[in-house]
Every structure is written in C-alpha cells, then in structure tokens.
Amino acid sequence: MSLSEFALIDRFFAQRARQGPRRATLGIGDDCALIAPDPGESLAVSTDMLVEGRHFLPNVDPQALGHKTLAVNLSDLAAMGAKPRAFTLSLALETPREAWLEAFAEGLFALADRFDCELIGGDTTSGPLNLCVTIFGDVPAQAALRRDGARDGDDVWVSGTLGDARAGLGILRGEWPAERFDERERASLHHALERPEPRVALGLALRGLAHSALDVSDGLAGDLLHILERSRMRASIDVDAVPRSSAMSKLPIETQRQCTLAGGDDYELIFTAPRHVREAITDAGARVNVAVTRIGTISALRHATDEPSIAWHDASRSPLSLTLHGFDHFDAH
Amino acid sequence: MSLSEFALIDRFFAQRARQGPRRATLGIGDDCALIAPDPGESLAVSTDMLVEGRHFLPNVDPQALGHKTLAVNLSDLAAMGAKPRAFTLSLALETPREAWLEAFAEGLFALADRFDCELIGGDTTSGPLNLCVTIFGDVPAQAALRRDGARDGDDVWVSGTLGDARAGLGILRGEWPAERFDERERASLHHALERPEPRVALGLALRGLAHSALDVSDGLAGDLLHILERSRMRASIDVDAVPRSSAMSKLPIETQRQCTLAGGDDYELIFTAPRHVREAITDAGARVNVAVTRIGTISALRHATDEPSIAWHDASRSPLSLTLHGFDHFDAH
C-alpha cells in the first residue's frame, strides 16, 4: 500500500459523506467536526470496535460488513431511545482493495442514509483489519432508556426473535448441518447474522413507556443480567415464551435454548415496563412493525444482600436449570 | 486470553474512569453515555486510530503510549480552540498483560485528569494491538479555529519547536548516530516523540485572535497546505524562521529542514492571524507559557485558477527549492 492509496480512501469516504444528509455544523476535513444536540437534548455516544475473526469471518461479504459495522452502533442508540445523528469511522486495513472498499461503503452508507446518520470524521491507517465506529444520537436526558431503571413488578419484553444469528453462525462453522434447514431458512439465519436490523424506531417509540432497556449483543442471559445488576433487581423468565423463528425448531431443544438465551449478536431490544402500559407497548410495536413479546417479570431482591439473578422456568412454570455458561458466542470480546 | 480477562480490563478502565472528573450525565456502563455541550456551544469531535509499527514502535513504553494515545486527540481539540470534555477508548489486544495495561492506563489517565477529560465509554476486544480514541470538547461554533479561515495578509505562526519528534525517531531507527547528541538532548528528542504536549491552553487563548489553525501531525509543509487548500490562499514561509530546538543544530542543515518541515508527529499548532493582533498573540503565548513564532505570511491567489501553494525562502529572502516529498514520517497513515 502507499500513502496516496490511503489518501484516496479518505477522499472516497469524505465524498460519500458529503452526499448524505448534513446535520453537523462542520463535518469532515477539519481537525474536529462540530455537532450539537437539539436544544434541551443530550448526545448519546457509543463506540464499538470490530475485529476479523472475532466479530466477522475473514470471508465476509464486505457490503454486509459495512452494514453490520454501523448496525451494531445504531443498535446502541436504539437501546437508549436516541435518534441517530452522526458517526465517525476509523479503519485499519492491510491493503486497500478498491472493490472491497466500494462494497463496504455501499453497505455502510445505505444504512447511514436510511437512518439519516451523517459520517462526520474518521481516520484511515494501514494495519490489521479493524473497524471502529463512534456514533451520536439525540435524546432528552430524562427520556433516555437506561439500564438502571427496572422496577419491581415490571414486565420483561424482547423485540423480534432471538438466536437466529447464532444459528446462522453454527451453519457457517459446521456446528450443525446446513441440510437441516431449507433454503429460505438458511438465507434467513444468514441474514440475521450478517444484516442485523437496529431497532431504532422501536427505541424511540418506547420513550416514556419502558423503565429500562438494552440491546442483546452477548445473549439474553448475560445482557438481562446487566439490567438486573444496575437496577438491583431479579427476574423470572419463561424460557418457552422467548420468541424464536420457525427455522430454529429444526435444532434440538437444548441447542435452541442455548442459541436464544446465550447466542448473542441478536441486536434486539430487551426492555422492562410497568403492567399498565402493556397495551401501549403492543401498539408501539405494531406501529413500527416490530414484534414485541413479554417473557417474564422483574421483582425486588428478597434481601438487600442478595445478588441480582435470573430464575428460568418453562411454560408450565417448572424451574429450569440451564447450562449456558461456556456456550461461546461470536461477539464475545 | 479469556473472556474473564477482558471483563477485568473493562472493569479496570471503568473504575479508573470513575475516579476522574464527572462531566457526563451518564458515563460508562450503559448502552450509551450521555453528554451535552455547555449551553450555546457545540461539541468538537475528533477520532484517531493508533497502530503498532505505524504510530509507535513495538517496544514503546506503555505509559508513554497511554499518554500519546490521548495527546494526539487532545491536540485536535487544541487546534479547534475547544475545551476538553470527554473521550471514548476502544482497544484491541492480543494478550492482556496486567503490568502493560496498568502502565498504559497510568499514562492515559494522568493526561486525562490534567485536562479534566472524562473517559465515558469504550470497547475492549481481542485482536492485533489497536487503539482508537474519540474525543469531545466544547467550543462556541462561531469561535472554533477552522482550517478555512486564513485571509490575505495574515501572518503564519507556529507554536513550540518543530522537528524534535522526527529527530528522536531518527535516533531510535539509527538514521543518525545517537552519539551526535548529549544525554540531555537525546532525552529531550525522545520526549518530543513519545510525550507530545497538546497545546490546549494555547488553542483556547487563540479564540477570537486566529483566523485559522490546525495541529502539525504530518509535518508543517503538508499540514499548512491543508489550511491553504481550504482557505484558497497561498503562503510564503521563511524556512530559517521556523523554530527548532538547539539539539537540532547537531544535524546537517538539509536534515534539519526535512525534520522541521516534513518530520511530522509534532502536535504543535500552526495558525494564521491578522497583523493587528501580533502583540495579543505574543501575550497569549506568554500567558500559557508556549513560545509562538511568526514564520511567514498568507496571500490571495494571483488567479482564481491557481493552486494553493507554499513559497519557501531563507532568512535573506532567497527562494529555496526544497525536496520534502518522499521524506517519510512516522505518523503517515
């Protein structure tokens, strides 16, 4: 690679950035970009670093990678109830290949344009493939969907279906035979893995309804625990109520449970909300065209010294002891 | 490495973050941090990715690396006249070593605390060593020191001395014998390379005085051209006026010029300002204890179709034709 090649990449991204929406006072090309939240609002800020072999396979379709690189960050805004505004992109590349970059940018900017999210800065360097996005959204601080707001008696909800991405990864890795699924199912699981849809509209619709929320990146079991720990609460979850796609039924029940509860890479929202807004939440889901499902309840800790935890049970309310620890998921650091 | 090791690192940084100043509404531990600029101001945003072999040598002192990782980002805020507020840190590591991380964090947080800049989020992943910081500062949009504001008749100024970092790198690389310098000089050049001091106070002091500014990361020649291109101006620079440390005189004059004009990694400010504020700028430099030196002037392009360019001359005003192209610097992508 040469310096001029990297200068070309910079120019390429800057050019694409200028074609998009303009929401920054000052964008690419200066020492800093300048942005400001809407009056009275705060900026929600999140950052994610994606590394080959950890977050995507070496032979991943670059267009899908462009999509996912931004999608996982948009998902963090969604989980906060924030409206996307802008992002920065830093990338390290061993050898810039024009076709690869073109496709990557295609996937990235298609999603950015769809969510009115402007590229305002970044950095390009030579090095082992690494993608780092920092994303910014607008939200009134008091309306933000935090992790520490779950309350005694809240319902626990989840959007979409869980486990599909992990099932798709299992096919790519040969953990279960691809032939178990028909072509449509394989495509759908693969799509879940490579093209997660950030639940931005749902996050916005949950402002004023949900007490707490986060997005599922490491798996329901681990991520729900983050809400419980920060809210000092416990949860009771009906494993059979956890929504899963029809394709998942082709896997053994144990594997289904591992995929849905600890598969990770789902980028669906888990949220808690009081009972009296059940109908409002169902309506919100319908309005933004995203399924929302109640899977359990939040309770206060019995003793102040108790550790926050999840009690799993099945549809008949029989307690389940699940072995989820050690089930590796793709996105684990 | 194991997942739990990475969880420990996260906790380690989060803990250190909590010991620092608190300027965010919501910091580490949720899907997003929440920040807002001071009323009426904007957030200046910049991001830099540092890669081993490109931006630092494999055997670099981790404490110095922690310092430099944040310093190069603070320098971008300085160049904008922005007041540091917060930053995110994403890092990929092959194998987390506690002593290395401890020292890295030591260098990082020492600088963060000094500039009242809070760690509000980040990401840790396993992978080839990579450090990505996104930084935020406050600045009234109309007071920001941009690159496109240079005007006909402006003086060109530079802070500190240039070329020291490149001279220090040349010693490490064996491009010139270390014995040419005494111990104090070697230490000073090495310090310039590994511990650049971001000119934050100077940037703030230049608000309302400078028409344009940027920080020198790729070398004076290349970086000044960014101001000229965005301002559609040309510059005349007195090469002999470009400030250099006494240690630099131990190198041949040609090498001195290459180091000062195209060495890079300086993180000093180049800025332009009208003649009538010369005294105010000298006073500002004295107030923040940073040398500021006039090195040339800005002129309008003779014809609208002319390309922005730099005319170099020596102290006797004889034009110089310099061969700077191809002189490699450390920080070049």
Res. A30 pLDDT band, cuts 50 70 90: confident
Are B98 and B24 part of one and the same domain? yes
Q: Which residue of A has its CA nearest to B34?
A: A44
Res. B18 pLDDT band, cuts 50 70 90: low
Mean pLDDT over residues B125-140, rounded? 94
Are B93 and B204 part of one and the same domain? no
Mean pLDDT over residues B233-248, rounded? 96
Note whether A47 contacts B332, CB cutoff 8 Å.
Answer: no
Mean pLDDT over residues A99-121, rounded? 93
Q: Which of B23, B30, B202 to mutate to test the interface with A (most CBs of A within 10 A)?
A: B30
- pLDDT tens digits, B104-125: 999 999 999 999 999 998 888 8
B123 contacts in chain A (CB < 8 Å) = 47-49, 132
Domain holding B14: CATH number? 3.30.1330.10
Give percent above pLDDT 90 in chain A.
Answer: 75
Res. B1 pLDDT band, cuts 50 70 90: very low
**Do the beta carbons of residue B232 and residue B309 sit within 8 Å?**
no
Note whether B148 contacts A30, CB cutoff 8 Å.
Answer: yes
Are B106 and B181 part of one and the same domain? no
A29 contacts in chain B (CB < 8 Å) = 147, 230
Give percent above pLDDT 90 in chain B.
Answer: 75
Note whether B130 contacts A126, CB cutoff 8 Å.
Answer: no
Q: Which of A6, A26, A34, A212 to mutate to test the interface with B (most CBs of B within 10 A)?
A: A34
Note whether A333 contacts B125, CB cutoff 8 Å.
Answer: yes
Residue A66 lies inside a defined structural domain of this protein: yes
Asked if residue B30 belongs to a known ligand binding site, the reply is: no
Residue B266 lies inside a defined structural domain of this protein: yes
Q: Which residue of A has its CA nearest to B123?
A: A48
Last residue of a domain, one of A110, A143, A176: A143
Q: What is the pLDDT of residue A329?
A: 60
Q: What is the pLDDT of residue B326?
A: 55
Q: Which of B2, B34, B226 to mutate to test the interface with A (most CBs of A within 10 A)?
A: B34
Q: Which of B47, B94, B269 to mutate to test the interface with A (most CBs of A within 10 A)?
A: B47
Q: What is the pLDDT of residue B17?
A: 67
For residue A174, what are the domain limits?
155-313
Chain B closest CA to A315's CA: distance in Å?
A: 31
Are B79 and B114 part of one and the same domain? yes
Last residue of a domain, one of B89, B120, B142: B142
Are B163 and B306 part of one and the same domain? yes
Supply the ipTM of this predicted assembly. 0.88
Q: Which residue of B has its CA nearest to A216?
A: B31
**Number of compact structural domains in chain A:** 2
Chain B closest CA to A247's CA: distance in Å?
A: 30
- pLDDT tens digits, B288-304: 999 999 999 999 999 98
Chain A closest CA to B61's CA: distance in Å?
A: 20
Residue B271 lies inside a defined structural domain of this protein: yes
Residue B276 lies inside a defined structural domain of this protein: yes
Angle of CA points B219, B225, B231, to nearest 5°: 140
Q: What is the pLDDT of residue A333?
A: 41
Dihedral-angle region of residue A93 (phi above 0 means left; psi in -120 to 50 means alpha; beta otherwise): beta
Chain B closest CA to A188's CA: distance in Å?
A: 27
pLDDT for residue B332 is more than 70: no
**Do the beta carbons of residue B79 and residue A31 sit within 8 Å?**
yes
Q: What is the pLDDT of residue B322?
A: 83
A6 contacts in chain B (CB < 8 Å) = 333
* Number of other residues whose CB lies within 10 A of the CB of residue A191: 15
Note whether A333 contacts B51, CB cutoff 8 Å.
Answer: no
Asked if residue B152 belongs to a known ligand binding site, the reply is: no
Q: What is the pLDDT of residue B153?
A: 97
CA distances from A325 to A156, A173, A262, A295, A318 (A): 22, 20, 8, 21, 21
Q: Which residue of B has its CA nearest to A139?
A: B34
Mean pLDDT over residues A224-246, rounded? 95
**Does an H or E element contain B293, and which?**
strand B292-300
Residue B328 lies inside a defined structural domain of this protein: no
Chain B closest CA to A36's CA: distance in Å?
A: 5
Q: Which residue of A has its CA nearest to B47?
A: A122
**Do the beta carbons of residue B51 and residue A125 sit within 8 Å?**
yes
Note whether A49 contacts B136, CB cutoff 8 Å.
Answer: no
The residues with which A271 forms a beta bridge, in sequence order, are A157, A213
Q: Which of B25, B45, B91 to mutate to test the interface with A (most CBs of A within 10 A)?
A: B45
Note whether B34 contacts A51, CB cutoff 8 Å.
Answer: no
- pLDDT tens digits, A113-169: 999 999 999 888 889 999 999 999 999 999 999 999 999 999 999 999 999 999 999
Mean pLDDT of chain A: 90
**Do the beta carbons of residue B329 and residue B217 sit within 8 Å?**
no
Closest by CA to A80, choosing from A160, A146, A136, A36, is: A146
pLDDT for residue B5 is more than 70: no
Q: How far is C-alpha B311 from the geometric centre of its chain's CA atoms?
A: 24
Q: What is the pLDDT of residue A331?
A: 52
Mean pLDDT of chain B: 90
DSSP B56: B
Mean pLDDT over residues B19-35, rounded? 75
Residue B320 lies inside a defined structural domain of this protein: no
Are A273 and A173 part of one and the same domain? yes
Note whether A128 contacts B128, CB cutoff 8 Å.
Answer: yes
Q: What is the pLDDT of residue B324?
A: 75
Chain A closest CA to B270's CA: distance in Å?
A: 12
- More confident site: A266 or B20: A266
Of B44, B48, B121, nearest to A45 by CB-CB distance is: B121
Rounded to 10 deg, the angle between the A98-114 and A3-19 helix axes is: 20
Are A166 and A116 part of one and the same domain? no
Domain holding B169: CATH number? 3.90.650.10
- pLDDT tens digits, B44-66: 999 999 998 888 888 899 999 99
Contacts of A274 (CB under 8 A, 6+ apart): A151, A153, A154, A155, A211
Asked if residue A147 belongs to a known ligand binding site, the reply is: yes
Are B126 and B187 part of one and the same domain? no
Note whether A82 contacts B144, CB cutoff 8 Å.
Answer: no
Residue A183 lies inside a defined structural domain of this protein: yes
Mean pLDDT over residues A54-80, rounded? 93
Mean pLDDT over residues A200-227, rounded? 96
Asked if residue B55 belongs to a known ligand binding site, the reply is: yes
Of A34, A76, A123, nearest to B42 by CB-CB distance is: A34
Asked if residue B217 belongs to a known ligand binding site, the reply is: yes
Q: What is the pLDDT of residue A324?
A: 75
Asked if residue B147 belongs to a known ligand binding site, the reply is: yes
- pLDDT tens digits, B143-169: 999 999 999 999 999 999 999 999 999
Q: What is the pLDDT of residue A1?
A: 43
**Length of chain A in terms of residues written:** 333
pLDDT for residue A19 is more than 90: no
Mean pLDDT over residues B194-206, rounded? 97
The residues with which A35 forms a beta bridge, in sequence order, are B43
pLDDT for residue B329 is more than 80: no
- More confident site: B207 or B13: B207
DSSP B131: E
Residue B75 lies inside a defined structural domain of this protein: yes
Lowest-pLDDT range of A11-15, A236-240, B189-193: A11-15
Location of structure tokens 């969907």: A145
pLDDT for residue A17 is more than 80: no
Q: How far is C-alpha B47 from the geometric centre of its chain's CA atoms?
A: 12
Are B306 and B263 part of one and the same domain? yes
Note whether B121 contacts A52, CB cutoff 8 Å.
Answer: no
Are A126 and A177 part of one and the same domain? no
Are A192 and A223 part of one and the same domain? yes
Lowest-pLDDT range of A5-19, A225-239, B138-152: A5-19
Are B38 and B107 part of one and the same domain? yes
Query: Coil, strand, or helix at residue B89?
Result: strand
Location of structure tokens 């990929």: B92
Asked if residue B159 belongs to a known ligand binding site, the reply is: no
Q: What is the pLDDT of residue B111?
A: 96
Lowest-pLDDT range of A25-29, A137-141, A238-242, B153-157: A25-29
- pLDDT tens digits, A246-276: 999 999 999 999 999 999 899 999 999 999 9
